Each structure stands twice: as structure tokens, then as C-alpha cells.
Amino acid sequence: MEYIRNAFASIIENKGRSFLTMLGIIIGISSVITILAIGNGMKQSVGGELNDMQAGGITIQINAKKTDKYLTGAQVRMIGDEVPEVYGASPTISGYGDAVARYKIPANFKGGNEYLFHDQKNVLSDGRYFNENEAESAAAVAVLSQSEAVLLFGSTDAVGKSFEAIIGGRSRELTVTGVLKSEERDITSAYRYNSGRDKSYQSIRPYVPYTLMTQGFGLAGENVVSYQIFPLPNEQDPASLRARRVTENMMGLRGQGAVNVQSFASMLDSFEKILDVVTLVVAFIAAISLIVGGIGVMNIMTVSVTERTREIGIRKALGARTGSILLQFLLESAMITLIGGLIGMMAGYGLTFIVSKFMSFPPQIRLEDVALVVAISSSIGLFFGIYPAFRAAKMNPIEALRYE
């Protein structure tokens, strides 16, 4: 206790120098914190999207760089009929805009046909899906999840209610035919958002007929360049191979590599590779600055020990044991790096907060990161403080007392 007070007093006494010493640690720790927070936020939001993909369909895309041919909605339906390993196929035409009811929420409308609902994750809680007739006739209908219903209407009870959909300046009144189940915590967080207690970014993804996107909002003309197939259980690979072949035959594109399958595994793989590289680079920078910071601490502590030779002599003459002096200086260097680490943590959180403003995902700050920072920074201080502390502890009291 006494030692901690002493160490603190000594750091305060040399504020300027202590702070400069801490800089390396501050930079190191703040980059660790920033990358952890951003990485976790990114994993969560991208991971969530990838999960959707795994549970849902496999996306098949026509590469516009290699061909200017395209499919129609009817052709997509035909492909679904010709591939035995799938329930069916649905065009996917997305449009970004807003949905307005009690609240106005940014929305990414996902247009498709009725096979869109062969998604293993989609469980109806209320109402019904839109049917083939509606899908093909540009019916002004939509299917939402419970949490989206809360965001839009303030309650999960949304069947039969209508809202205004705005895409690219065009506006249509859509009626909700069905509501899909959401996780309890998503519903809770939607309520929190509506009550103003949660300021995190929220958007919705209503399902609508693809013909509504093309005819109603004038998106993509009649052209379908990407569609999803909904494979039977455990038939993902044969289904996507066959769908690709059928598409190539239908469009006369055999052997041109113009039809791509975006499988879940390949996307997850490339996403994780990117994240790994980013993490590695930042971890490398952080490690370098922590080591540089640690050497700085060792340097300053060595200078400090030399400057305080006489003090050490006095303490020894008065009965300080080797261990007491060792402890005194180890605690001092650990405290410098710990304070540096805590400042770095705050700087890191500040930085994360700023970065998250420019991105669509919320940063994740976790308690174990705080514990990690405390552990890393104080062990750096302990490790790099060993040499100067030993120098202090091993001093000969007579010589130390004579030191001017």
C-alpha cells in the first residue's frame, strides 16, 4: 500500500517525463483496443449476414463484365423447375430506400418470388407469405420480421397494416401480409431504439415481390442478373453445380465462366482471410509500439534509478531490504505502463467511436478487453522494469550514499 502511494507520488512528480514514457504504451494499447472493437463489430455484422446466406439460398450471378445477356423472372422459375435438388429459384432484385409508417427507417427491400420463403431461417409468426400470383403481378405487399415491425409500427402486430416504401424518389403504399419470427433480444433492442434509449444504427430488410421492384419502382428493367436457389437439405453442392449448368445452357454461355456461384463457404473464407490480415497488421504495429514503449520505460527507469542513487542509499541505510527496493521500482514502472495502458484504452475507445460513425456496424467493447489491457500493460512495466529495479536493489549503500 505504502509502495503504491510512493510510486504514484513519484510518477506525478515527473508528470511530463512519465507521460512521454507512456506514449508508446498509449499508442500500442489504443491500436489494440481499436482493432479488437472494430474487428468484433465487423465479425458480428458481417457474420450475421453470412449466416443469413448459409440458412437461405445460394446466390447465382451473371457476370456483367463477360456477357450482356440476362434472365427474366420466368426463366428463373424454369431453372428452379429443372433442377431436382432445389425447392425452387427466386430472382433477387434489391433496392435501397426508406420505409415510413409511425417511424421512418432506412430499408433494403429484397425483391423475389414466393420461393424466397424457402429459407430455413424464415418462420412465420403471423399472417402469410406473398404467393405466386402476387409475386408475378407486382402486388403492393411486403413481409417483415417482428423486430422490423416494431421499428416501423411500434409493435409486432403488423399484419394488414401498411407503410410507405420510397426507392429512388418513387413511393408506393405496401400492405404487410406476414410477419416472421425474430429473436427475443432483437425485438427488445427494437423497442429500446424506438424509446430513444438505444442510438445504434438500425435498418430493415422487407421482402417484396420482385415485379414490384421492376415494374413498381422501375429497377433493373425486366433484367435479372442474379437469383437465388433454395436447395433441399444437404444438396447445396450438387444443386449449385446443376443450377449453373442449366443457366449456362439456357443462355448459351457454356464454357465462358460468365455464371458465378457465390457459395457461403467461399465468402466466409475470404472474409475471414481479410479480417485475419488486418488483425495481423494491426497486432504487429501494436506489438512493435508496445516493445518500443517498454524499452522507453526501461530507459527512463534506468535514468530515474541513477538520479535517485542517493535516495536508494538512504533507504538502504535506514533498513530497506533488497526486495523492498526491487518492489518499489517494479511497482513504479508497472504503474507507469498501467496508467499508459488505461489512457490508451480510453483513446482507443474514442477512436473506435469515431470510426464507427463512418461504418454501418456498431463497435463492440468487451470487459475482457479491459482485463487484457490491464494485464498486458502492467506486465510490460514489470518485464521492462526488472533490469532497472535490479540495478537499484543491488546498489552498495556506502557508494550510493556518496553519490552526488
Partner 1 sequence: MEKLVDVIDVCKIYNPGENEVRALDHVSLSINTGEFVAIIGQSGSGKSTLMNMLGCLDTPTSGTYMLHGMDVSHMTDNEQSDVRNREIGFIFQGFNLIQSLTAQENVELPLIYRGVSRKERERLAVEALIRVGLGKRMDHKPTEMSGGQQQRVAIARAIAQAPPILLADEPTGNLDSGSSKEIIGIIKNLYKEGRTVILITHDPGIARQAKRIVTISDGKIQSDIINPDADV
CB neighbours (10 Å) of residue 125? 14
> Which class for 284: exposed (0-12), middle (13-18), buried (19 or more C-beta within 10 A)?
exposed
User: Contacts with partner 1: how many residues (CB under 8 A)?
Assistant: 21
Taking CB under 8 A as the rule, does residue 303 contact partner 1? no
Can you point out the beta strands (E) in 1-103? 58-62, 86-91, 93-100
Which residue from 64, 274, 371, 398 is in contact with partner 1, where contact means CB under 8 A?
A: 398
Nearer to partner 1, 347 or 401 (CB): 401
The alpha helices in 128-235, defined as continuous H runs, are: 132-136, 146-153, 184-194, 210-211
The residue among 206, 208, 156 whose CA lies nearest residue 186 is: 156
Taking CB under 8 A as the rule, does residue 278 contact partner 1? no
Nearer to partner 1, 39 or 397 (CB): 397
C-beta of 8: minimal distance to partner 1 in Å?
Answer: 12
Question: Element (H or E) spanning 164, and its range?
Answer: strand 162-167
Taking CB under 8 A as the rule, does residue 401 contact partner 1? yes
Stretch near partner 1 under the rule CB under 8 A, chosen from 75-83, 189-197, 312-320, 342-350: 312-320
Nearer to partner 1, 368 or 404 (CB): 404
Angle at 322 between CA 321 and CA 328, to 5 degrees: 90
Taking CB under 8 A as the rule, does residue 321 contact partner 1? yes
Looking at the DSSP bridge assignments, the partners of residue 112 are 209
Q: Give the Cα separation of 228 and 320 in Å (integer).
A: 77
Which residue from 95, 97, 111, 313 is in contact with partner 1, where contact means CB under 8 A?
A: 313
* Footprint of partner 1 on 7-46 (CB under 8 A): 9-10, 13
Stretch near partner 1 under the rule CB under 8 A, chosen from 53-61, 104-112, 322-330, 346-354: 322-330
CB neighbours (10 Å) of residue 386? 16
Taking CB under 8 A as the rule, does residue 335 contact partner 1? no
Taking CB under 8 A as the rule, does residue 262 contact partner 1? no
Calculate the dihedral angle through the C-alpha atoms of 90, 93, 95, 99, rounding to the nearest 10 degrees: -20
Which residue from 185, 255, 319, 357 is in contact with partner 1, where contact means CB under 8 A?
A: 319
Q: CA 112: distance to chain centroid?
A: 28
The three-state secondary structure class of 97 is: strand
Taking CB under 8 A as the rule, does residue 327 contact partner 1? no
Which cell numbers hold the place of 309? 542513487
Nearer to partner 1, 153 or 329 (CB): 329
C-beta of 16: minimal distance to partner 1 in Å?
Answer: 16
Where on the chain is the footprint of partner 1 (CB under 8 A)? 2, 9-10, 13, 310-311, 313-324, 397-398, 401
